[in-house]
Amino acid sequence: MTLSRRDILRMGLVGCSLAASPLMTPVTFASDLNGSVLGDKRLVVIILRGGMDGLGVVQPLGDPDYLGLRKKVLIGAENGAWDLTGFYAAHRALEPLQPLWAAQDLAFVHATSTPYRDRRSHFDGQDMLEAGTMDVPIGRDRDGWLNRMLQVVPGIQSETSFAIGREKMLLTAGDAPVAEWSPDAKLDMSAQTQRLMELVMHDDVALNEAMGEAIQIAQSLSLEQMSEAQEEGMMAMNMMQSRGGDHRKLAQFAASRLRAETRIASFSLTGWDTHNNQQRGLSRALERLSDTILTLQAGLGADWENTAVIAMTEFGRTARENGTAGTDHGTAGAMVLAGGAINGGKVHGAWPGLSEADLYDRRDLLPTSDVRAHAAWVLRGLYGVDRAALETAVFPGLQMGPDIGLLA
């Protein structure tokens, strides 16, 4: 059997790549060529893989039907959830973000979704979220909305880096040059393994140079061989619950690039698939998200004031809990937004209600907005991207509707 370079890379360096929980999490950057197009504004897009339970994260305790739907999985006010608006409360694992809420640097959008409906597949839902299209992308349509945005903004170049592990994020796939790097890759290779890689890549100058650069980056950051989170996920043999890598190092690396010439970064956090024992799984995932946001804030310093962080998931989860103290794949969910550029201290979006007649298909939170529209308004507000380009080139078929004021 003849092995390609990709086959060898996969066997030697790549962990699980399940849709809900890839162990290798690439981080993608884009930088401004001349410093005049994107200015000082910074954007971080975080894909929350696995389907975050928006009803558990931003709890509508003021809805009379909520408590009847959530008994085992609910972590309400009596267990530490903190009040947001009198109607909504935040999960207690987000408590470290309370200062951001008070400073109006943290916000949420509730009851929002992509146009994806009914099939509830992680793979299709994530592809549709990252593609920003009206349907699951296939063939030539498999490019991402962030890459298409780069194509309509002049003067953009990618930062040189390299991804080992998971395939290139669809979010950034496309004709615009985009580079990736995986901070979770195990790059402390033995001498024999490194020699094998050199032989495999000997005739491929670009790949050889990229591998060398990736090794140098990893060594400069003193990366660990394997994070505690990865070990736990592998020992449990439950890839749908894996932590997906060292989120703090990932955020630190992103912040270091954003302090320099980089203006746009994207990466993913995993572990949001909470079919079983949701109290434990959701708490852990939210702790990692809180850590990531606070690490970005600390690393960015004064640049935090010009930053918008948007965290998006492929779909929400069922309104009713299931028989294993968890929730199943649903439809509408929530977005998390942070940064000094965000109009925070608010829960944006129209609330549809949770009575059985109000639920989508009598099982899910009903979508009242398109998550792509919120992303589009952030792009327009940060970088002045033309509305017509957003509705046709970046998010084909989107009707942005009115601006609900996500940016300060």
Q: What is the pLDDT of residues 180-202, one digit of tens each?
A: 666 544 444 455 555 555 555 55
Top pLDDT among 16 and 30 is at 30
Instruction: Give me the residue label for tokens 């929530």.
Output: 334
Residues 6 or more apart whose Cβ sits within 8 Å of residue 158: 29, 30, 31, 176, 177, 178, 179
The average confidence (pLDDT) of the chain is 79
pLDDT per residue as tens digits for the range 103-129: 999 999 999 999 999 999 999 999 999
- What is the model's pLDDT at position 51? 97
> Given its phi and psi angles, is residue 120 left (phi above 0), alpha (psi -120 to 50 degrees) or beta?
left
Whether 319 has a pLDDT exceeding 70, the answer reads yes
Question: Domain segments of the chain: what residues?
Answer: 13-182+223-394
pLDDT at 174: 81
Residue 168: pLDDT band (50, 70, 90) is low
Strands (DSSP E) along 200-331, which ranges? Answer: 262-269, 307-313
- Residues 312-341 have a mean pLDDT of 97
Judge whether 312 and 48 are in contact, CB under 8 Å: yes
Mean predicted confidence (pLDDT) in 241-259: 73
Summarize pLDDT for 373-408 with one digit per residue, the tens: 999 999 999 999 999 999 999 999 999 999 999 999
Out of 17-26, 199-208, 296-305, the most confident range is 296-305
pLDDT attached to residue 247: 84
> What is the distance between the alpha carbons of residues 269 and 377, in angstroms, rounded to a whole number?
23
Between 261 and 96, residue with greater pLDDT: 96
Mean pLDDT for 294-313 is 97
Instruction: Tell me how far apart the alpha carbons of residues 42 and 260 are, in angstroms, rounded to a whole number.
Output: 11
Residue from 391, 385, 349 nearest 366 by CA: 349
pLDDT class of 203 with cuts at 50, 70, 90: low
Distance between CA 300 and CA 339 in Å, rounded?
A: 10
Amino acid 57 reads V
A 10 A CB-CB count for 271 gives 27
Cα–Cα distance measured from residue 357 to residue 24, given in angstroms and rounded to the nearest whole number: 42
pLDDT of residue 76: 57
pLDDT on residue 34: 55
Beta strands (DSSP E) in 95-141 are: 106-113
pLDDT in tens, 63-92: 999 999 998 887 655 567 899 999 999 999
CB 90 within 8 A of CB 80: no
> Which of 2.30.29, 3.90.550, 3.40.720, 3.90.320 would CATH assign to domain 13-182+223-394?
3.40.720
| Residue 22 pLDDT level (bands cut at 50, 70, 90) | very low
pLDDT at 108: 98
Q: What is the pLDDT of residue 132?
A: 96
pLDDT value of position 252? 87
Report the alpha-carbon distance of residue 388 to residue 150 in Å, rounded.
Answer: 15
CA–CA separation, 254 and 29 (whole Å): 8
**Residue type present at position 389:** A
What pLDDT, on the 0 to 100 scale, is given for residue 30? 77
Higher confidence at residue 383 or residue 237? 383
Residues 6+ apart with CB under 8 A from 134: 115, 396, 397
Q: What is the pLDDT of residue 257?
A: 85
Using DSSP's 3-state secondary structure scheme, residue 172 falls into: helix
Residue 225: pLDDT band (50, 70, 90) is very low
